[in-house]
Amino acid sequence: MNQADSTVVSATSAPTMMQRPLLISSLIEHAAKNFGDTEIVSRTIDGAGHAGIHRYNYRDANRRAKQLANALKHLGVVRGDRIATLAWNGYRHFELYYGVSGMGAIIHTVNPRLFPEQIAYIINHAEDKFLFVDVTFVPLIEALVATSVAASAPSLKSLKGIVVMTDRAHMPSAKIDNLICYEDLLSAEADDFVWPQFDENTPSGLCYTSGTTGNPKGVLYTHRSTIFYTYAAMSPECFCLSSQSVVLPIVPMFHVNAWGLPYIAAAAGSKLVFPGAALDGASLYQLFEQEEVTASAGVPTVWLGLINYLKTHGLKFSTFKETVIGGSAVPPAMLRTLELDFGITVLHGWGMTEMSPLGTLNRLRGKHLKLSVEEQLVIKARQGAPVFGMELEIWDGDGKPLPHDGHAFGDLVVRSPWVLERYFKDARSALINGWLPTGDVANIDADGIMQITDRSKDVIKSGGEWISSIELENIAMAHPAVFEAAVIGRAHPKWDERPLLIVVKKPNTELGAEELLKFFDGKIAKWMLPNAVEFVPQLPHTATGKLLKTKLRDDFRAFKFAD
Ligand code: ADP
């Protein structure tokens, strides 16, 4: 062996670089040490604080998260225990994100917009040990406890206690025994907790998918997956957050960890603004202005509400610059309004609960900056390119990769260190040949920019051709009298399935089916045109604000096309 050979280090020899585990507690420690006085502002749920606003900073948050970790320890919580929350975006929820995961337990964020039976199912399935609730959700829990007692089938049987996230003065009177007061719990504890070091593959958080089909399924994130995700999502091609950013997550902390913003903001040292339960246009706008918010994130339906409010009152934003919108397709009409009327850069994002959630984000490339605004808007309407660490492919029906030419479309599959391998408590892997099937149908262009054409179960299969329901919805949404639109496939004797367009009109507008269908002229091939239009007062949404097409298909089960 010569000298050079003997210095070659094999992968099995002692590590040459430090083996520091990637842990969530390091995010809050970093923020507290380096951005200690950066503010975290919350609109309170219980109305406490001057004008209903609570202010503190990362140093305080870290201190209180440590008090919480001590309290959990004294309540008998050990590594791997699940601790549920039913809570809005606020500072106490933020403390739970860090206190629970930081001490080695698992924070299970429950979506309060699910049906009560689903909430009970989830809490039982997760075997949650304690439940932390905002005051607004105490009646919900009361009803759940009462139903289970009446049915003498104790649901929520794993729970050892329920903690109300408020102080003694705001504790509600409830028909549940032994409710614990959050502030009492914390005030009894010291803040000298040292965040333990453990294996980075330890589970840190649990989030169930909304269960638009079947029972909700649990996605169990780990410390490692969360830190990888945080690095990727804070980067310039993605959220691009820094200590100069003021970020207001509209997306709830019970919906895939507010898309990771509580972690990303701490890593980046950004000021955080939590809107609490007040998600109406007026309350959000006031907070955006008062706190000089620069960045945000939310699903299209909340932006519909906010845009409506701004337009009705002739308002503009002063500091707000860009927002990520995803969860369902951003209608081009909304993109145009936010970009051109309000000067907000829209970053269209796509992802899933199973993906922590971000897969792609659409930020214009350097080479796009010379294009016309209209050309840029066409690119921005696509769902975007994968962030580093995420890989995408499209497969044909036999699992063979399709070309990335912007035309070929097929089943979208993904892989990444922050993508699910198997659902919680499921022995089977969810992967096919190492990739997770997303249930979405997409094309990818030569720049890697992906466009979702549909969910595989929503595609309309007409005489062997596929029609994208999203494309038809987007066109309908651009009509000035349309507030919201959904397209579903309905059985057709000749074509197998044909599109049915279901529309909610804007208040005080006139619109007939014929006029609306004329609006599609020249925008799509004639054979894709919806065969019928139905007007309804409102459309059903899932617990995460998406169109609930299973319900629409049920509602229109008996529908028959005239021809
Ligand atoms: P749920 O199944 O509970 O609705 P998710 O919130 O995880 O769960 O939803 C993921 C799905 O949402 C994706 O598979 C996709 O169909 C849809 N989706 C998310 N973002 C977009 C987007 N920007 N455009 C179109 N569809 C989207």
Does residue 362 line the site of ligand 1, with CB under 6 A? no
Report helix angle 261-268 to 25-34, nearest 10.
40
pLDDT at 301: 87
Report helix angle 223-234 to 261-268, nearest 10.
60
Using the mean position of ligand 1's atoms as its centre, give its distance from the Cα of residue 350 in Å.
Answer: 7
In a mutational test of the pocket of ligand 1, which residue from 352, 419, 474 has the highest number of ligand atoms less than 8 Å from its CB? 352
Alpha carbons 262 and 108: distance in angstroms, whole number: 15
Alpha carbons 265 and 512: distance in angstroms, whole number: 47
Give which of 332, 336, 264 is closest to 297, Cα–Cα.
264
Alpha carbons 118 and 211: distance in angstroms, whole number: 9
Helix residue ranges, H only, 108-242: 116-126, 138-150, 182-187, 223-234
pLDDT at 141: 93
The helix/strand/coil state of 428 is coil
Helix residue ranges, H only, 153-202: 182-187
Alpha carbons 420 and 455: distance in angstroms, whole number: 19
Spans of the chain, pLDDT less than 50: 1, 3-4, 6
Does residue 439 line the site of ligand 1, with CB under 6 A? yes
Which residues belong to the active site?
209, 354, 461, 466
Does residue 352 line the site of ligand 1, with CB under 6 A? yes
Does residue 306 line the site of ligand 1, with CB under 6 A? no
29 residue type, one letter:
E
pLDDT at 1: 44
In contact, 414 and 256? CB cutoff 8 Å: no
Does residue 252 line the site of ligand 1, with CB under 6 A? no
Alpha carbons 553 and 500: distance in angstroms, whole number: 10
Using the mean position of ligand 1's atoms as its centre, give its distance from the Cα of residue 549 in Å.
Answer: 13
Alpha carbons 333 and 474: distance in angstroms, whole number: 7
Alpha carbons 179 and 173: distance in angstroms, whole number: 9
Rg, Å, the chain Cα set: 25
pLDDT at 539: 95
pLDDT at 563: 64
pLDDT at 10: 61
Which residue owns the Cα nearest ligand 1 atom 10?
A: 352
Which residue owns the Cα nearest ligand 1 atom 13?
A: 352
Report helix angle 138-150 to 116-126, nearest 10.
80
Using the mean position of ligand 1's atoms as its centre, give its distance from the Cα of residue 455 in Å.
Answer: 8
| For the CA of 349, the nearest atom of ligand 1 | 23
DSSP code, position 467:
E
Does residue 440 line the site of ligand 1, with CB under 6 A? yes
